[in-house]
Structure formats: C-alpha cells, structure tokens
Structure 1
C-alpha cells in the first residue's frame, strides 16, 4: 500500500509540474491613437482563455493551448481586431492599435445654424407637434412657436419668419422636400396671416436659421423643412369645439396597416369674441375662414411610401380705421382670399440608392378692396386683385457610402405665374427657376464630419444663373460637447410684387458664416452660436402712385444696388431633467444689423430688427390633477420705425424713431379628464389659453398720412386674447404621449 501511495503521489507531482510548465503567459497593450484603452475584451478565439485590459490598456492571461490561434480584441466603440498567433512554449507578447467603430448613434452631427425635431437624431427634440400645441402664446401654429427660438424676431404686423436680420420672405418653408409657395393665409396690411397647415400633419421639422443644405434654395436667411406623418398608429376620429371654430376629421388605417386615408373640415369666425373682448381693430366683417384637407398614404411592398396631401382654404375680413387724410372720415379694407395646395411625394429604396421625389401645385387669390367713408357715404372701391399659380417638382437620389457618409444629388423646377391688377398697373409675371445640386456627408470619424454641397440655379425671368457653394464641419470637443462651422452662399429672386415695370435686376445674394458650440446630454441641451451675414445686390425701390386721385402707393423695383449686414450672438438652453415634470427653455438673441434696400435712402437698421430678444417657456404637468400648466414670456428691444417719402425718384426720411419695448406673458391650461382610464373610448383635452395676460399695450409701428402731418399706431387686433376649447379623439389613446410630453 505504501508503494502504491508513493507512486500515486509521484504521478500527481509529475502532472502538476507538467501542467505548470505547459501554461504560457500571453500579454500586451491595446491602444487607440497612442493612448491605452480600458475594458477591451482580449480572448483566444473558440476558447475560454482571455482577459480585460486595465486603465492603461495592458492585459495578461495564461493558456495551455498550443499551435496556431486567433487572438481577438473587442470593444463596443472600436472595430474588432483579430490577430493570428502561434503559441509554443515561450511567453507571448501581442499589442495592437484599434480603429474607431463608426456609428450613426455615436457620430457627431453637423448642426450649425439648424435645430431638428425628429426621431432620427439624438439631440433634445425641439418643437415636435406636442411642443407646439403646448407652448403658450403659439396658438398651435408652427411659425408662432418658432418665435420662441433664438434668431427669430417677433414681428406681429406681418406674417413670415424674420430670421437674423432678414425679412419674412427671406425664409422658405418646405413640405416633404417640396416648396410651399403660400404657407400663410391672405390678410390685410397690418394684420399677420395665419398658418394654413395643420400642425398635427407633421411628425417633425428641421429649422435652419442659416447655412442650410444645398438641397434647398431661393432663401437668403433660412429654411423650415417639415416632414409629414407616414401612417397613423390607428384609426381615429377627432372633433374640435370652441367659440371661434368648429373642426372635425378622421384617419382610417387599413387592416393590413399598409395604407391610410383621412380628411378634416373646419370653420372659424371671430364675431362672438368681438362681443366679449375689447378689440383694437374695428372689424366691419369679422374674420372668418373655411378650410378642408384630404390625405392618402400608401406603403409599398418594398418599404417605399406614396403620400398625397391636398387642402383648400378661403377667408374674408373687413377692417375700418380712422383716415389720416383730410376730407375723409374712415378708410376701409375688405378682403376675400382663397387658395389650394396639393403635394405628392414618393420615397423608395432601390438597392443602395434612396429616391425622394415630390411635386406640388398651389393656387392663391387675394381680392382686396380699398374705399373711404365720409359722412356715412362710402366711396367707389379700388380693387387690388392678385392671383398666382405655382408648380414645384424635385427629385433627390442618395447613396450611402458607409454608416455616416453619403452622397446625394438632384434637380428642382419651380414655376411661377402671377397676375396683378391695381389701377393703372396690370402685371403678368412668369418665371421658371431650374436648379441642380449635389451634396456629400463625410464622416471621417465619430468625432469629425463634414457636409459639402453646391447648388446652381437659372431664372428665366432674370435670364441669369448662379452657383452657390455650401460647407459645414463638426468636431466633438469632449463627451457631450461639439462645435460646428458653416459657410454658405445663398441667392434669391427679387420679390415679384415689387416688379411693376422695366428694370435690370439680378439675384439678391447673402453669405453666411456660423460658429456653434453645443452640449447635449440626457434631457438637457445648450447651444451657443455666433453668426455674420453679408448682403449684396438687394432690391431698391421707389414709391409710385398709380392714380393721382387715390391715396395708395406701391413700391416698384428699379435696381439691385442694395447691400447690408447682420451679425449677432445667440443662446439656447433647454432642460427637461432637473425638475420633476417640468420642461423649460430659455433663448436669447443679440442682433446688430443694417441695410440699404427697398426705399431706404441710406444704410439703416431694419424696422423689423430688434437688438435684444429674450424668450422663456416653461411647462409643468401635474399628474394627480391631470393638468398641464404652460407659460411663455417674450421681451424684445424696441424696433426702429421710419416714414419714407419718394420725391422725384429720391427717397427721404420724414420721421423716424424707436418703438417701445415689446413684452408679452402668456399662459395656458390643459385638462385631461379621462387620463389614465384604460377603458375610455375617447381622449379629451380642455384648453384655456390667455395671450398677453398682463395686457401690455404693444406697438408694431406707425402709419403716416401722405403729407406726414398725422400718424396712427399699428397695434395688435386685441391686447389680450382668451381662447377656450375642447379637443376629442375617438378610437385612439394619447395618454402616454400626453404624459411623456408634459401636455
């Protein structure tokens, strides 16, 4: 027994010695750009042997494997590396350099000049439909909600987006890539037109206040790109009821969820609110409108999309005001307007290529009648009739180069046919703008990317062409911190309403330089942006009187000798994380701008530009009360105003000054009585909204008499407006959306 035990002990000792001798140590270092990388998994392929790198990138492990093997190095942020190794009886040292894993999620995004609200980007979403509906003072309008973002000026007397020292017509709006030629409703001078389009039609937007993509053109200042909803989540029926409007609509989703169709119809009239509120404007015909739309969406078997949207809109109003001219008691303006818009878009992937094509048609008619009243006797009416037909076609072909790089190009046609009749002026304006463009996204790494593009256009009316390069760079400075640079050259035709006679005109031109620093983290976003814009070839006009017996004048273009600049700083901060159930944002803009354009006799600060603009928005949702409370506040430094007269083709300033500072505090409440009732067949929201709750008496400008001796202030139609209404959805539960978005 003793001999057998000794033999067994000897065998165990021998095996232990052999196994210990057979273990080979594998070690090395893993680095990226000469810096060690921690937490890299280093393993022998198809074995259990391996280790994880330490903070300096070093690793070591032992193995009893022999022969040819594959050593793998894996990390989520880097490409996997495989190295062949030969394991013999000696220790092995293996080091390697990693390559960054290119990822759409981790890659830095070029964002100078733009703010995006969609599911495609990781940045804090801005101005989604729920954001817009719950921003107090926005009245559910996309354009009004944009006034609470940096770079946008508050100009209450005229529709449009006034961006960074640009006029309202220098910003263009697109739907699924196609230009919307008449986004705003017809109106009378001094009262801004409203959005024609239903906010819920769109699932997201990209708002560019400068340096925008070469895919878009004919805008000196900026662009708003709206993306319509594809397919609804489920069929639904919606009703809206308030003292100023009634609306109803439906969306029907096909059983196999590959198509849908829907329609809405609405009617609005302000006469009841005139009796309740103290209006500044004397409406002899209460503003009223009828609108309807229809949509069809079809998903192809290969994942493509056809989308059609059509709408019709009509409105009318009449305004009476005290006359500034001697011999007349009152001036009266009556409006009848109507428009229609149709948009057809197609999106389809063909192998490695993505085709986006769209066509749109719009028609707009504005019938304005001017008259005077003396001793209750109305004069003969003077008619200003304008109508226009607009056709837009655009196609873009895109090919992905890798996960974060792409190449795209295409062409666009925009045809305009406008007629104007006013006294001795009869105009038929026709123009076809043909464009081609190319653009590439270059992702050099997750920390560095670029966007390079060029656009070329030709105008048949001007019989001239242009070439506009665009360039943008983005670099990640540190975790959550990025910086972007953008440069672009932008062209735009002179506004057709100023082309009332022979003139040798060219494209108007602007150059944009933008520097942005941004920090984006979970629930928080900070943006700092500096910009400089240089304007050239701006249109100069003179005032002409079509009929010496009338008191109306129109501006007529005569050359492109105008110029100007705009420069400034902007700050934007949004926070949805710090305070429970509270979402707020703050924006500030500083603007220094001067222009010599239109009928300005010299370089002046534009009458639509405010040096300082501050906005704050806060939203608080109280789950136990099923109540959302929303506040917004806007302050802007008083804008300049001018009274400019044309004498013998020379423009002179008769009066000038500064308006009082603008202030407005708005509040809205949203009550959801059936929130949390899982068996509820309907989702209801009651809304109470009060605009300018403190009743600040804001002034937008001044009108002057023909001789300059008398003036009257241009003010909002009403200082404080109160809206109450109920919105009911049948067949769809929006409870979670309401909670998530602080409705």
Structure 2
C-alpha cells in the first residue's frame, strides 16, 4: 500500500511538471538604440521574476508561464525606461523596443573650456577647494596666490591682481555670490603687491575662468573669479589665530534648529618684529600694519531659500624709503594710509519653476599716498595723491530648468562707480547691463551654452553687444572636449581717465579648445587659446602718472596649457603639475610699438605636492614655480610722443616653497579644541628673483624691482573650539 502511494505521487509530479513545461511561452525580440542593437538591457515581465538580458547584438529570449495581458519592461541606467504592453497566449511572442538615452545631470557632459571649478556642487571635478588653498605651500592662505599655481595665471610679484593669458591684473574681475568686488585687494605702495582682503574660509568654493566665461558676467577682458560663500556653518565655533605677524579671533553662532547663523571677527597685523628678524630688500620706515574685522548673518527661509549678508572693513598703513635715482636727491619715501569697506547682500529663492538670485554690493576705497624726498637727511614733501572711490553693484538673475540638463536664465545688472581725487577728478559712470543665456543638453554626450550680454556706459555714452557660445562633447567614457567663443568688453581703467579724450570700450575675442580626462583620483586637461584684442587704451605720461588719449591699441595672445592632478598613483600623496606656454604682444598704454607686456612670461611651470602622515599628525606640503624671464622697458614721453629708450629681459624666476601643519589634538576624542600649528617657508633656497627695473628720468640710472624679502618664514597657531577637522586632516585635506 505504501509503495502504491509513492508511485501515485511520482506520477502526479511528472504529470504536473510536463504540463508546466508545455505551458511555457517563449518571448523574444531585439532592443535598438539609433537602429543598432544594444547589449546589457534588462528585459522583464513587470511584477515577476521572468526575464533576460540582451546580448552583444541586442537580442533577448526567455520563457514564462504567465498568461493574458502583461507589461514588458526594458531598463538600463543609460537609457529611459520603456514599458510595452503585450498579450501572452499559447504561441511564442516577439516584442522589439527602441530606446532613448537617459538624460541626467550626473551623466551629462558639462562645458569646461576656460573654467576650473571647485565647489560643493561638483566635488568630482573640484581642482582647487578652500582646503587646497590653505595647504598649498607659498600661497599664504590667499586665493589669488594659490591660483598662481594653475595654468594660465602669470606669477607677477610686484603688483596685485590675476594676470591671465597676457591680460593685465585689472582685466580679471572677482565676484562674491554673483556681485562684483571692487576692492578685493588691500591698498599698497608702487612695487609691492596688495594682499587678499577676504578670509579664504568664508568661501565654500570657486569657479575660476581664464576665458570664454558666461554672459552673466562682464567688464573683464581676460577672465573672472566667481567666489561662492558658505550658506550656514556646520556648528557654533570660536576661532583664534596668533603668530609674530598677526592676531585674530572670530565667533560664529549657529541656531539650534540650524535655520540661521551670525558671526563676527577681528584681526590685527604688524610686520615690525619680522622685519627685525629677516633681512628685507625693502626699507620699511613704517612697518606694514593694520586692523580689520567683519560681520555676517545668514537666514534659511522656510521654503528652502537663503538670505546672506556680509561686511568687512580694514585700515592699513606703511612707509617705504628707497635710494633716489635722481642725482638731486639722496632718497625718496612714500607713505600709505588707506581704509576700505565692503558690504554684500544676496538672496536666493525658488519661485515655483523658477530660481531667483538677487545680489548687491557696496565698496568704499579711501587711499592716501604721500611722496617726499631727502637730501642730506632733510625731508621735503613733494606730492599727495588722495583717491576716494564709491562703488555700487546690483544684479538679478532668474533661471528656469527646461529639463534635467537644460535651462534658460536672464537678468540685469547695474554697476555705478564714483571716484574723486585731490587734483580735481570727479569721475562717474553707470554701466547698465542685460543678459540672457541658455544651457541646451542635446544628450548625455553633447551640450551647448549660448548667451548674449548688452552693456551701456553713461561715461562713454556707448553700447556694446557681446555674444557667447560654448559646446561640449564626450569623446569616450572619461574623455570630454569643449569649444568656447565669446566677445568681451571692458571700460578703460578709470585711473587713466584724466582728460576729455573720446574713448570707447576695449574689446577682446576669445577662442578656446579643450580636451579633458577625468577619472577617479586623476585629472588631465589640455587647453589651447587665441585672444584678439582691439580698442585697447593708449596713454601718455611717465611711469607714475599716465593719461588716456585714445583707443587705438591692439594685441594678441595665444598659447597652450597642460594640467595634471593625481591623488591615486602614490599612496597618501596628492600632487599636480601645470604648464603654460604664452605668446603675446600688445600695442597699448604708453608702448610706442607692439611689445610683449612686461608682466608676461613665455613659459611657466608649477608643481604642487602634499602628503599627510597620520602617525606624525603632520601634513607636509611643497610647491615649485619656474617662469622664464619677463621683458622690461624704459619708456618716456617726449613732446607728446612715447619713446622706448631701453629694453631687456630679467633672469628666469624660480621659487621652492615648503609648509607643514601639525595637529597635536588628532585622535583625541575628548579634546575640546582643535589646534593646528603652521610652519611655512617661501623661497626656501633663497633665490634672488627680480621682477623688473625702474629708471631715472634721464635713463642713466636704474634699480631692480625686488620682492620685499627673498625668503619669508611664517610660524603660527590656529585654535578652533566647536569644529572637529580630524577627517579633513586624515584625508590629506588640511
């Protein structure tokens, strides 16, 4: 009886299995994209486990026992998901599908010609974050100095500003949260560069464009630096810094619900002690000294918007004495007494399908220079230059997304400048601008940006139209290419507007081609450019005071740049290498003929390397810069004509810098303070670099323009209460 039951059960199982096998239906077909079969497409019956994956030719086949009306799903992350309704009967079924590319912000190629971005939005492409700036040896924690280690930027030590691809320092403009900063650098005396007035930690990221930039920005012939301030701090904190040069303190309060914050800081610096320790090339009869502070508040709205206000002020002074090049004097001296103030207000808010950005800024510059001469130690006052400037900027941008990678934006901008001096100058100019721009994502592999900017200057009483165009195409998985073209205008510098000469906008046309490869831990970019300058300002006068006479100047700049950054090859070592080739000539300012500008080096090479040793709680940083010799000229005005009396080339520039950061609290979980000790040595080999030459009125005597000190050593301590930066340190980011 028992054997009979087993026999019956076996028959039942085989009968059921035979029925199921006979009931299975085969579903097959082909999946195409642009009329070509696509592999690795998942094909499944919705809400079942039945399905298959396409082969190399796009074919698939599977069997199912399902019946009736069903839904066939075709999916792959690179393509839009397709659902196809089918009816399964007793016969084999064929179902083909045509796919569309999945468009996404992450996968889409972005336009990067001329731009280097470092921000929270695009960490994968970040090339120069705020932490990078602090840990770049020789940058002294300054954004502008750190940018000197990127391709396209010239190393010009005797003057502040970003000298980009053959352009002057005034041809690159700096913006904070979209608003123009008219006084980014501190005031200084001739031959000594001013420093950044803004704390690097204020900004969460930056976009540096060495050409071909967006139509949202204008009045810059060469490039723009776009700084993006922090929204809300991560926590409440107290920070203190102390060194032989300065002392600083700050407080930042974050609300318990993290909906608003406010803070303030104060700082004081004095180079007196350092000058007594090191041998300076510059004779500071009054050491560079000053004090300043800032304040801010930030409010996050209930609907996710952000309102931010920031202000800073500073006062600085110094006096420099040097040997006179004129035989009737023994020495000359210049005294500086300056004050600056900056206010920035910005508001960002989503309004339905639109994003509104409103920003406004106000700058006040007050600079007093007093020149005097000495004969037999008797001082004789010569000239006072008292300059005061008020600047107001307002910009509004409205943006709307069309789809995931396409958008349109437009807006307007007003930039008003009013300057006076003690020689009767009373300059006022209102530049009114309108702009429109669209991002067009045709696919994940092709995108474009088209824009137009229109400007009107009340001083020049003229209007310009500046079109911009850029394209990006993905060549392969990690390789992209970009093209950019644009026309850019800028008013003549106001310091040369000392007459009623009829002038117009200066003009530059940019042509840029870039190839870039980005993979995990590595970045490579090759960029070639050509710039055509027209209507450049021509001046008459000596080396100290020049007056614009017309816009008949012109010039070109062309070259190629290479950038390589690698965090992967060597364990715990982050390094980058940049090289720039620049071929440029200009007939502008008081140049009698077309010449290579005195600030332009043909070859520039920079190497930066960083390593953090966790066991030693120390980060080690090195940087090296080489620049081929720059030209210098002795140009004078005689009878209304500019004459080139002498010319030459200074020796090649070379500088090796070193810094280390020691974190004694690293790994101590109960530590109430995070402390960093910093040691930095600039030009550690003591190379005697020369920036150029100054000449006497008769051209018979000259003196070299030197850095204030050949080798500079900085030692300091920074203490933060409430902020734990351990992870940044371990990840070689501090």
TM-score strictly above 0.5: yes
Residues 1:236 and 2:237 aligned together: yes
Cα distance in 2 between the residues matched to 1:526 and 1:175: 28
Q: Measure how far apart 1:108 and its partner are.
A: 0.6
SS in structure 2 at match of 1:402: coil
SS in structure 2 at match of 1:478: coil
Cα distance in 2 between the residues matched to 1:7 and 1:256: 72
SS in structure 1 at match of 2:274: helix
SS in structure 1 at match of 2:463: strand
Structure-2 residue corresponding to 1:627: 618
Checking the alignment, whether the CA contact within 8 Å between 2:572 and 2:732 is kept in structure 1 is no
Checking the alignment, whether the CA contact within 8 Å between 1:583 and 1:742 is kept in structure 2 is no
SS in structure 2 at match of 1:123: helix
Please give the TM-score of this superposition, normalised by the length of structure 1. 0.97
Cα distance in 2 between the residues matched to 1:726 and 1:4: 89
Structure-2 residue corresponding to 1:733: 724
Structure-1 residue corresponding to 2:486: 488
Cα distance in 2 between the residues matched to 1:591 and 1:420: 37
Deviations 1:126-180 (A, max 9, x none): 2211111110000100000000000000000100000000000000000000000
Matches within 5 A, 1:236-385: 236-385=237-386
SS in structure 1 at match of 2:724: coil
Q: Measure how far apart 1:60 and its partner are.
A: 1.1
Cα distance in 2 between the residues matched to 1:48 and 1:635: 64
Structure-1 residue corresponding to 2:678: 687
Checking the alignment, whether the CA contact within 8 Å between 2:320 and 2:335 is kept in structure 1 is yes
Deviations 1:277-326 (A, max 9, x none): 00000001000011100010010111111100000011000000000001
Structure-2 residue corresponding to 1:460: 458
Cα distance in 1 between the residues matched to 2:121 and 2:307: 20
Matches within 5 A, 1:85-164: 85-164=86-165
Select 2:521's aligned residue among 516, 520, 523: 523
Cα distance in 2 between the residues matched to 1:154 and 1:48: 64
Q: Measure how far apart 1:123 and its partner are.
A: 3.4
Cα distance in 2 between the residues matched to 1:3 and 1:138: 92
Deviations 1:490-526 (A, max 9, x none): 0000000001011110000000000000000111100
Please give the TM-score of this superposition, normalised by the length of structure 2. 0.98
Q: Measure how far apart 1:125 and its partner are.
A: 1.7
Select 1:437's aligned residue among 435, 438, 441: 435
Deviations 1:420-468 (A, max 9, x none): 22xxx42100000000000111111111111111100000000000000
Q: Measure how far apart 1:543 and its partner are.
A: 0.4
Checking the alignment, whether the CA contact within 8 Å between 1:124 and 1:524 is kept in structure 2 is no
Q: Measure how far apart 1:88 and its partner are.
A: 1.6
Deviations 1:207-232 (A, max 9, x none): 00000000000000000000000001
Q: Measure how far apart 1:97 and its partner are.
A: 1.8
Checking the alignment, whether the CA contact within 8 Å between 2:119 and 2:205 is kept in structure 1 is yes
Cα distance in 2 between the residues matched to 1:568 and 1:79: 42
Cα distance in 2 between the residues matched to 1:448 and 1:126: 23
Residues 1:576 and 2:564 aligned together: no
CA RMSD of aligned residues (A): 1.5
Cα distance in 2 between the residues matched to 1:430 and 1:246: 39
Cα distance in 1 between the residues matched to 2:267 and 2:320: 23
Residues 1:31 and 2:22 aligned together: no
Q: Measure how far apart 1:10 and its partner are.
A: 7.1
Cα distance in 2 between the residues matched to 1:640 and 1:339: 33
Gaps of 5+ in 2: none
Gaps of 5+ in 1: 545-551
SS in structure 1 at match of 2:128: coil
Cα distance in 2 between the residues matched to 1:264 and 1:11: 86
Structure-1 residue corresponding to 2:168: 167
Select 1:477's aligned residue among 475, 478, 493: 475
Cα distance in 1 between the residues matched to 2:217 and 2:206: 14
Measured at CA, do residues 97 and 246 of structure 1 come closer, stay the same or move farther in structure 2, by a change above 3 Å?
A: same
Cα distance in 2 between the residues matched to 1:86 and 1:151: 63
Measured at CA, do residues 218 and 712 of structure 1 come closer, stay the same or move farther in structure 2, by a change above 3 Å?
A: same
